[in-house]
Amino acid sequence: MPPCALTVDSLNPKVLALADHLGDAIARRAQIICCSLSNPQSMGQQPNKFFREVLALCDYPHLLEQSETSSLFSSDAIARAREILDLFPGRATGAYSHSQGTEGLRDVIAAGIASRDNFPCNAQDIFLTDGAAPPVHMMMHLLIRDQKDGILCPIPSHSLYKSSMVLQGATLVPYYLDESSVWGVNISDLKKQLDGARSMGIVVRGLVVINPGNPTGHVLVEENQREIVEFCRNEDLVLLADEVYQENIYTYEKEFHSFKKIARSMGYGEGDISLVSFHSVSNGYYGECGRRGGYMEVTGFNSEVKKQVYKVASLSSCSNISGQILMSLVMNPPKVGDESYISYQAERDSILSSFARSAEAMVCAFNRLERVTCSKAEGAMFVFPSVHLPKKAIAAAEDSNTEPDVFYALRLLENTGIVVVPGSVFGQVHGTWHFRCTILPQDEKIQLIISRFMAFHEAFMEEFRD
Amino acid sequence: MPPCALTVDSLNPKVLALADHLGDAIARRAQIICCSLSNPQSMGQQPNKFFREVLALCDYPHLLEQSETSSLFSSDAIARAREILDLFPGRATGAYSHSQGTEGLRDVIAAGIASRDNFPCNAQDIFLTDGAAPPVHMMMHLLIRDQKDGILCPIPSHSLYKSSMVLQGATLVPYYLDESSVWGVNISDLKKQLDGARSMGIVVRGLVVINPGNPTGHVLVEENQREIVEFCRNEDLVLLADEVYQENIYTYEKEFHSFKKIARSMGYGEGDISLVSFHSVSNGYYGECGRRGGYMEVTGFNSEVKKQVYKVASLSSCSNISGQILMSLVMNPPKVGDESYISYQAERDSILSSFARSAEAMVCAFNRLERVTCSKAEGAMFVFPSVHLPKKAIAAAEDSNTEPDVFYALRLLENTGIVVVPGSVFGQVHGTWHFRCTILPQDEKIQLIISRFMAFHEAFMEEFRD
């Protein structure tokens, strides 16, 4: 055999620098209770009926001509499928679309955004994508020239942004969310981090904000959002707003406000701030993760820059048409008077209220544990408790060459079968230890999880108490 | 207004270096006869019935429990949908799958590849993707460290490879296909190009081969494939085999042989050659371009390297499930005895024979034109005639600051409404001029296109004859 050309040492070092997907490997072990993945339909949640009716009819339009169809499908799903098919030249849902996505679907989505925000939205600003990851990679590709370019990124944050920056060779400029103010953004800290990076010669191009938060499950207060907008505007930063959990808010105290709405309500228009909003069909309560639908709304980019965004978007021809259709349904769900309206609302309320109950039960339980504190769960699909690990546990972790939070999570897994994601995957303030736990398990499972968790934690503390 | 942070000069120069999509802009003008896009369903071709039946049932599995379904869907589509749903844990087609794609679907695809090649295929080597573009970008990302890394790329070739290399900052090492031998690969020329690049310090990592060819519409002869395999093995190059048109061959003289089959039949196994085969649901005769299904089969990569491929694949969670399902249907179509078998074959034969008729009519017509020669059309969806433009036409093009082939194509468009893609988009031997014309238009349109084209060409020659 000749020496094989391909050794791991000869690969792109930026790829090698990517972290392994530890979580994935754990989650695939048998006999586990998965509290690590934001993947509702893998946990038994049923897909939304209206969405799937429309998708099926658009896949096989022949059904629309059959008499049996009216008894098999709801009337508004049939009407919607006809409307959608008419948006495709020749009704061809198997053709490549425009690289930004099918024009008529972008019109629908733009109308949905406008009605959500009460500010206009231009369909030309919408890029339909295969979920939220590709547009994040696109923006990084566009903004990052070399390792002297940096992006402000929240800590903790889910791995997409970090991975994308590693792959582009960008410098991640961290800013720490303030756990004491329900994971709010401290603007003076942000300014300090920005100035620090600049003093080291980093050209900071943008700021990532995740709202509602992942892994933190918080919802930013409006005042904080205004401060962030002002900051980006003053510092000439592109605001990269991850708003994929916008439909998952389960506190009556807060509601979702897009950063574009905030900026516009402050009187800032196209020329004042560059803003990208990411959304997807994966992260709403309906959890159509595998369908890979998403969009980014790109505003405050001049036409020359926009042309460059388009070039990058067209590298993969277009995003998948089913995902495009689904994204349009998410942004334009059944309305009062439609046959599906009542059942659609019932499905949504049932899921969101289950999330709310799980979240409340978990937060309450975690706060009763020794040396554990847990912020309110307001949105997204997670709680992110902090565990003040005893010195003896930290020493034991060091002995086994593991991060203390990983040590805790592995012990939890071994003893209970419960999988959570250790905080070090997301980043955390030095010397603090967290884990991310999804609130997806349904009522019957939650009590089991909580009681097993409590028993484990007590025993763990017993073993390692200082 | 503050100075906006985002100017085109401040973007990633690799993005700026990407070519604009000229073809796109032209194709969207009204009143045209599109011979530029490989997008069959945009030209009125109907999707395959069996494929769409299965997709619809998998989207809305509720249908499988209804009595009306047996009269609305063919029995094998129903059976197949049940089988596919059972491959998903909890039948959840809305959940994220494994980042390589749903395991059961990869098994089906691997079995399809094994039966195509008569050599084993391992499902672990399959990565399901959103069409063929993302896996090409993945491989480039993996292989290219900086501009000193190069990839041998055929000229002419469609823009994906060039774009991907530009975006990664790779050096494109061109090798010219030999028009005189129906666009075969001349190994001594290949060797010359490789040595030339190496002498300039370029580390050549891989070789792209497109078979059947795009834009050239050729099918490589087996002996030439063996030479290419031997070359890659001797020179330690990763063979990147674009085999997306494998189902579109419309000559009785040749058939498709995958490069893996060729390598294995030469006795070369895993340790002998690193090989990636790309396929997609866009480029078969059924043309499900918008559904974004695809796979790459990665062989001869050691486990450490494979782990890195997996990391890159997992950056976007997983490819879309509808596309995954469709890819499995393509690799496992209805069999003898299945209810859909006859109609499936009939649909396929009708489309492929229409392609064959169009191709023959076009090749014949182009070869009758003054100063035009056109190779046999054997596969893919294109013919790529060469036009020996008169000096006066070249001078007129120079006067209007246009490439001569672009000048010809624009004249054609203005005079006839026919859109073709100028050869300079794909690259061509210096001083030669070509255009790519799809063979997609159906019988009734072909004669119209040919007669308009001939009239145009005669007038053009009259105007510019030396």
Task: Find chain B residues with C-beta within 8 A of A11's C-beta.
Answer: 142-143, 145, 305, 308
Can you give the pLDDT at residue B373?
A: 97
Q: Which residues contact B461 (CB under 8 A, 6 or more apart)?
A: B370, B371, B390
Q: Is the pLDDT of residue A342 over 50?
A: yes
Mapping DSSP to helix (H, G, I), strand (E, B) and coil, where does residue A238 land?
Answer: strand
Give the mean model confidence (pLDDT) for residues B160-168.
93
pLDDT at B89 (0 to 100): 87
**How far apart are alpha carbons B438 and B382 in whole angstroms?**
4
pLDDT-derived band of residue B299, with 50, 70 and 90 as boundaries? very high
More confident residue, A92 or A220: A220
**Scanning every residue of chain B, which has its alpha carbon at the shortest distance from the alpha carbon of A136?**
B316
- Cα separations (Å) of A18 from A14, A164, A169, B155? 7, 9, 10, 34
Nearest chain B residue to A162, by CA:
B315
Q: Give pLDDT tens digits for A170-191.
A: 999 999 999 999 999 999 999 9
How many of the other CB atoms lie within 10 Å of CB of B44?
14
Structure confidence by residue, pLDDT tens digits, B442-463: 778 899 999 999 999 999 999 9
Average pLDDT on A320-347 reads: 97
Amino acid type, A148: K
Structure-model confidence comparison of residues A89 and B339, the more confident one: B339
Which residues of chain A lie closer than 8 angstroms to B89, CB-CB? 42
In angstroms, what separates the C-alpha of B315 from chain A's closest C-alpha?
A: 7
| Contact assessment for residue B112 and residue B331, using Cβ atoms and an 8 Å cutoff | yes
pLDDT at A4 over 80: no
Q: Which two tokens stand for residue B423?
A: 């050869």
Is cis: bond before B404, omega within 30 of 0? no
Contacting residues for B252 by C-beta, under 8 A, at least 6 apart: none
Classified as helix, coil or strand, A61 is helix
| ipTM of the shown complex | 0.94
Length of chain A: 466
pLDDT given at position A2: 43
Contacts of B9 in chain A (CB under 8 A): none
Query: Mind listing the domains of chain B with CATH numbers?
Result: 89-330 (3.40.640.10), 344-464 (3.90.1150.10)
- Chain A hits for B314, CB-CB cut-off 8 Å, are 21, 24
A196, HSE (Cβ side, Cα atoms, 13 Å)? 13
Range A402-423 average pLDDT: 94
Least confident residue range of A18-27, B31-40, B210-219, B422-431: A18-27
DSSP for B274-310, please give it. -EEEEEESSSSTT--GGG--EEEEEES--HHHHHHHH
Query: Looking at A251-369, which runs of residues are DSSP E strands?
Result: 275-280, 294-299
pLDDT tens-digit readout, B327-362: 999 999 999 999 999 999 999 999 999 999 999 999
Test B12 with A143 for CB contact under 8 angstroms.
yes
**Cis amide leading into A61 (omega within 30):** no
Burial of B203 (0-12, 13-18, 19+ CB in 10 A): middle
Which among A39, A57, A321 has CB closest to B96?
A39
Q: How many CB pairs under 8 A join A and B?
A: 298
A418 pLDDT above the threshold of 70: yes
In the 3-class helix/strand/coil scheme, how is A81-94 assigned residue by residue? HHHHHHHCHHHCCC
Within 8 A by CB and 6+ apart from A434, the residues are: A156, A215, A384, A385, A386, A387, A405, A422, A423, A426, A428
pLDDT digits 0-9 by tens, B125-144? 999 999 999 999 999 999 99
Q: Cα distance from A25 to chain B (closest Cα, Å)? A: 10
Length of chain B: 466
The C-alpha atoms of residue B166 and residue B144 are separated, in whole angstroms, by 11
Residue B32 CB-density burial (10 A; 0-12 exposed, 13-18 middle, 19+ buried): middle
B30 confidence band (pLDDT: 50, 70, 90): very low
| Residue whose tokens read 């909580």 | A450
Identity of the residue in B59, B271, B289 whose CB atom sits nearest the CB atom of A95: B289
Task: Show the tokens assigned to B90.
Answer: 């909890």
Report the sign of the C-alpha dihedral through residues A229, A278, A134, A359, in that order. Answer: positive
Per-residue pLDDT band for B31 (boundaries 50, 70, 90) equals low
Does the structure show a pLDDT above 90 at A250? no
Contact A290 B236 (CB under 8 A): no
Confidence of residue B22 (pLDDT cuts 50, 70, 90): low
Out of B18, B21, B94, the one facing A287 most closely (by C-beta) is B94
Mutation choice for B interface testing from A128, A302, A317, A340 by most B CBs within 10 A: A317
